[in-house]
């Protein structure tokens, strides 16, 4: 019923003006629009999140939104330089080194905003390797496990021009070079459902790599 409708993280704020200053000064984000009691932000790939006035306080005990970044070390260093304080963990299930933890197929770092909302930066280490393999598989005539929109995304980042004939596509190397890492402003906050979709993508990739 709701599978085709967009979903955006919403973060509570006891002091909306304080939150607005934090997102501007620490994260470099300015609201796309403002309504009474709410701030609306736009980030990468047309993703959005909102911060709204609430009498309740965030617990800060679980991740409420995350940005997908290409280089988590650089992103963490840049935010620390702006005064963001990152969480440090040392428990059996999670250990950070210089504010960054290795979790599953990637790395993560966590920080709280001015209102106690726990936010994170996530980098999937194998994403580039996956894209390289998928492009190689397509050139060799193997099927594409991704949807056409996602495949176009991969091709664009790889600098590869798709050549399609109906549902069957091949690829040739284009002249475009891979873009430089995107800044945090262009990163994408995602929901837990989007994270699970990426886990499913990881499984599809493993199957495709075996076939190659």
Give pLDDT tens digits for 131-151: 555 555 555 555 455 555 555
At residue 163, the pLDDT reads: 47
pLDDT tens readout for residues 49-68? 999 999 888 888 899 999 99
- Band of residue 188 on the pLDDT scale cut at 50, 70, 90: low
Exposure string of 143-165, with b = 16+ CB inside 10 Å and e = fewer, is ebbbeeeebeebbebbebebeee
Whether 142 and 212 have beta carbons less than 8 Å apart is answered as yes
Instruction: Identify the CA nearest to 31 among candidates 182, 185, 184.
Output: 185
* Cα 151 to Cα 28, 130, 143, 157, distances in angstroms: 30, 12, 11, 10
What's this model's pTM, rounded to 2 decimal places? 0.61
pLDDT value at 165 more than 90: no
């Amino acid at each position: 019923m709701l599978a085709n409708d967009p979903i955006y993280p919403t973060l509570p704020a006891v002091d909306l003006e304080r939150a607005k200053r934090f997102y501007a000064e620490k994260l470099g984000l300015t609201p796309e629009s403002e309504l009474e009691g709410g701030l609306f932000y736009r980030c990468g790939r047309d993703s959005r999140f909102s911060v709204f006035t609430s009498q309740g306080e965030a617990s800060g005990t679980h991740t409420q939104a995350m940005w997908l970044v290409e280089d988590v070390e650089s992103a963490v260093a840049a935010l620390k330089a702006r005064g963001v304080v990152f969480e440090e963990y040392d428990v059996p299930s999670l250990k950070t080194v210089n504010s960054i933890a290795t979790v599953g197929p990637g790395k993560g770092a966590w920080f709280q905003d001015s209102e106690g909302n726990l936010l994170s930066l996530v980098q999937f280490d194998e994403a580039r390797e996956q894209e390289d393999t998928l492009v190689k598989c397509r050139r060799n005539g193997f099927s594409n496990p991704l949807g056409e929109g996602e495949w176009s995304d991969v091709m664009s980042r790889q600098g590869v021009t798709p050549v399609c004939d109906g549902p069957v596509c091949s690829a040739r190397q284009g002249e475009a070079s891979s873009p430089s890492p995107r800044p945090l402003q262009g990163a994408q906050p995602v929901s837990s459902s989007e994270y699970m979709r990426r886990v499913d993508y990881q499984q599809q990739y493993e199957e495709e790599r075996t076939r190659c």
